[in-house]
Amino acid sequence: MINSSLIKASLTTLLDGDPSARLFCEGLKDGFYQTIPLASDILRPDQLEELPISEAAAIGMVTGASMFGIKPIICFQRVEFGLLALDQLVTNASKTKYLSGGKLTSPFLLRMVIGRGWGQGPCHSQSFESLWHSIPGLRVFMPACSSDYNDVFNQIALTDSPVITLEHRWTHGIPIETTVGCKHSIPDATIFSYSYNSIIATRVSRLLSQHGVNVDVVNSPHFLSAIETVRDSLLLSGRLLAMDLGPSFLGLSGELITQMVEQGIVFKCKPLRIGTPFEPASACPEKAQLHFPTASNLFDSLEALLPHLSDQITRARSVFQQSCMGQYSDVPGDFFKGPF
Amino acid sequence: MTVETDIISHASWLRGVQTAIADSYSRQLMRCPVHLSIGQELLWASIKQYSSYEFKIFSSHRGHLPYLTLDGDLLAYVAELHLHEDGTSSGNLGSMHLKSPSKGHITSVPIVGSSIPLALGAAYAAKHLSESWISVAHFGDGACEEGILHESLNLAAVKNLPVLFLCENNRYSCTTSLTARQPSACMARFAAAATVQSDSVSTSNLRDLHSSVGKALSYISSSQLPFFLEVECYRLVEHCGPSIDKQMGDRTFQEFSNALACDLLSHSLDQASYDRGYSDCLQFVDYYTHINLSRKVKGFS
């Protein structure tokens, strides 16, 4: 079973368990990457609502509906389509509780998919996590693994605010048994990561530990919830590598490092960041490989952070490269088939 | 009293209240942008007569009249304009966010057109939770230039949502004339593009106005479909502030004079209701003037 099946099962349970829940999506019959139930999968097919290509009106509608008892889930095929609904999210959805003095709330789940690889190019591969995190009143999740996705569905049952998930397309095909994050009693370094970067970082960290290098990976599906864990690890390691999915410029990693400095963390060496360049992504696979963070970037940065362990890191890198031989870099693995 | 007398009475009260605000705004103690609707009162006085309907109204920055019509608590109204904790939103939001959710004025949103799809949501909830309220998206001709209106009309039509698109066409966006902004003066044409039933009516004929409002509400209630009602009117005051808008932006003095001469309420004013609105409002303004003079909001900036 893979994460897409888990998401679909969770949504099915949610819809069947609550008659006021509704799922809004353009292209219902396409199944939204096999992550939503079809009409035949649920008890009340009228809970599935097809949408016109009107992101702003749709977000406004679900905001208003959620004020009066409807529990909406709404899906956009790419994060970039959410930009068309930015006013509704900023002006209305995120402020419902504040503007009404607590009399009204607008709890709903907005799912947006981050593309990468297979020629997604500059307008289908952005995540804009800094943008979404900059809007008070929204709860933003960037899941990497099945437990992260489970957390999202637990959260939406508890919160009275809009929840946004930025779902990296490559996390959908990952087996639900896959776990992310690494913790050592005496870490040599700490990696802060989220979304698909946590998959990469965890693979690298596990390989490094076989070569005597202990790197903590703090997977952070919800940024604010991860701060304390990063701090605890850093107090032991003193060395930080922070990974952004989007550009490092004005990224979450910058905010994290600032908070660590403000909390008085003493770094043994200057913290490093990995993210995309502050420029559009190419659809060309060779150029895209240079644009998005990869395990190779991770090994480079860890060598800079841990020069006294460079021999061990080099050996681990060699093993990792051997395991990737013959694989295309614009897909996450053999399971992945085009067009998306 | 006839219905028309009641409408004139409430409209006069609304004008009295707003005029008191305009006259006292120069005290500089209502420290927020105030968008008055002097000249546009008759529509809301008509809507007040249909109180048998339960409304969920989502309006714009120019939301004083829906608030005063559905709620009418002058103390909370004046306090909010003075950004005092007694206000409709505890003095946190000011003139552009007047509301009374418990009385059906759900919100006022000062980003043009932004509140329109919220009304679709309330209509969706009514339809699917078997509620009987009528959801109203209240906006002006300026909002018809925003894409969100057209998305919302299409979505309401395709989802068969019982929502009233209530467009006050006062012919101005700030100080820019409709003729400089659109190729046609008819806003209802946008409804036709989305196959939404519509009507256009003017505040210059009270009987027609009240009839059109009633038909629109009745249509939505019985058909559970969207309806677009365009109300042609004229704002006699400036876009934002207390002054009579005689000659600002695209306006000419001649145009203003003609509009004033045609203003039905000026000719049929219920002086007693006007005076009551004016004096009641001014009483609260005086009260909060006194309070605000003692607030410690002065200092370095």
ipTM score: 0.95
Structure tokens at A239: 């060395």
- For B157, name the nearest residue in chain A, comparing CA atoms only: A52
pLDDT beyond 70 at B111? yes
pLDDT beyond 90 at A339? no
Which of B89, B99, B128 best tests the A interface by mutation, with the highest count of A CBs <10 A?
B128
Rounded Cα gap, residues A322 and B1, in angstroms:
92
Give the nearest partner residue to B114 out of A22, A49, A88, using CB atoms: A88
A27: nearest Cα among A67, A65, A81: A81
pLDDT beyond 90 at A19? yes
Which of A22, A46, A61 best tests the B interface by mutation, with the highest count of B CBs <10 A?
A61
- Using the Cβ of B121 and the Cβ atoms of chain A, whether some distance falls under 8 Å is answered with yes
Q: Are B37 and B231 in contact (CB under 8 A)?
A: no
Give the nearest partner residue to A104 out of B90, B101, B119, using CB atoms: B101
Chain B contact set for A104 (CB, 8 A): 101, 106
pLDDT beyond 70 at A321? yes
Mean pLDDT across chain A: 95
Distance between A99 CA and the closest CA of chain B, angstroms: 8
- Using the Cβ of A97 and the Cβ atoms of chain B, whether some distance falls under 8 Å is answered with no
- Using the Cβ of B61 and the Cβ atoms of chain A, whether some distance falls under 8 Å is answered with no
User: What's the pLDDT tens digit per position in B248-300?
Assistant: 788 888 988 999 999 999 999 999 999 999 999 999 999 999 999 988 777 77
Residue A75, classified by CB atoms within 10 Å of its CB into exposed (0-12), middle (13-18) or buried (19+), is buried
Residue B301: pLDDT band with limits 50, 70, 90: low
Q: What is the pLDDT of residue B247?
A: 72
Rounded Cα gap, residues B275 and B166, in angstroms:
29
Rounded Cα gap, residues B37 and B296, in angstroms:
31
Q: Are B80 and B89 in contact (CB under 8 A)?
A: yes
SS3 content of chain A, % helix, strand, coil (to 5): 45, 15, 40
A57/B152 CB distance under 8 A: yes
- Using the Cβ of B99 and the Cβ atoms of chain A, whether some distance falls under 8 Å is answered with yes
| Contacts across the A-B interface (CB distance below 8 Å) | 113
pLDDT beyond 80 at B245? no
User: What's the pLDDT tens digit per position in A206-239?
Assistant: 999 999 999 999 999 999 999 999 999 999 999 9
**What amino acid occupies position B221?**
S
Q: Are A219 and A144 in contact (CB under 8 A)?
A: yes
Structure tokens at B139: 């906006």
Which sign, positive or negative, has the C-alpha torsion A71, A111, A162, B77?
Answer: negative
pLDDT beyond 90 at A171? yes
Average pLDDT over residues B205-212: 97
Strand order in the sheet with A109-114: A48-50, A21-25, A71-76, A109-114, A163-168, A139-141
A104/B131 CB distance under 8 A: no
Q: Are B175 and B235 in contact (CB under 8 A)?
A: no
Q: For chain A, what percent of residues have pLDDT higher than 90?
A: 91
Structure tokens at B13: 């009260």
- Using the Cβ of B45 and the Cβ atoms of chain A, whether some distance falls under 8 Å is answered with no
- Using the Cβ of B195 and the Cβ atoms of chain A, whether some distance falls under 8 Å is answered with no
- Using the Cβ of B95 and the Cβ atoms of chain A, whether some distance falls under 8 Å is answered with no
- Using the Cβ of B86 and the Cβ atoms of chain A, whether some distance falls under 8 Å is answered with no
- Using the Cβ of A88 and the Cβ atoms of chain B, whether some distance falls under 8 Å is answered with yes
Distance between A53 CA and the closest CA of chain B, angstroms: 8
- For B102, name the nearest residue in chain A, comparing CA atoms only: A103
A60/B152 CB distance under 8 A: yes
Residue A326: pLDDT band with limits 50, 70, 90: confident
Distance between B120 CA and the closest CA of chain A, angstroms: 5
Q: What is the pLDDT of residue B130?
A: 94
Q: Are B165 and B194 in contact (CB under 8 A)?
A: no
Residue-range domains of chain A with CATH:
3-171 (3.40.50.970), 189-323 (3.40.50.920)
Average pLDDT over residues A119-136: 95
B151/A61 CB distance under 8 A: no
Chain A contact set for B128 (CB, 8 A): 20, 22, 70
Average pLDDT over residues A48-72: 98
Q: What is the pLDDT of residue A340?
A: 65
Chain B contact set for A59 (CB, 8 A): 117
Distance between A289 CA and the closest CA of chain B, angstroms: 38
Give the nearest partner residue to B121 out of A54, A67, A87, using CB atoms: A67
Give the nearest partner residue to A68 out of B109, B122, B152, using CB atoms: B122
Q: Are A298 and A275 in contact (CB under 8 A)?
A: no
Give the nearest partner residue to A52 out of B93, B121, B155, using CB atoms: B155
A65/B121 CB distance under 8 A: yes
User: What's the pLDDT tens digit per position in B172-207?
Assistant: 999 899 999 999 999 999 999 999 999 999 999 999
Give the nearest partner residue to A60 out of B89, B106, B117, using CB atoms: B117
A104/B106 CB distance under 8 A: yes
B121/A59 CB distance under 8 A: no
Residue B55, classified by CB atoms within 10 Å of its CB into exposed (0-12), middle (13-18) or buried (19+), is buried
Chain A contact set for B56 (CB, 8 A): 68
Rounded Cα gap, residues B160 and B162, in angstroms:
7
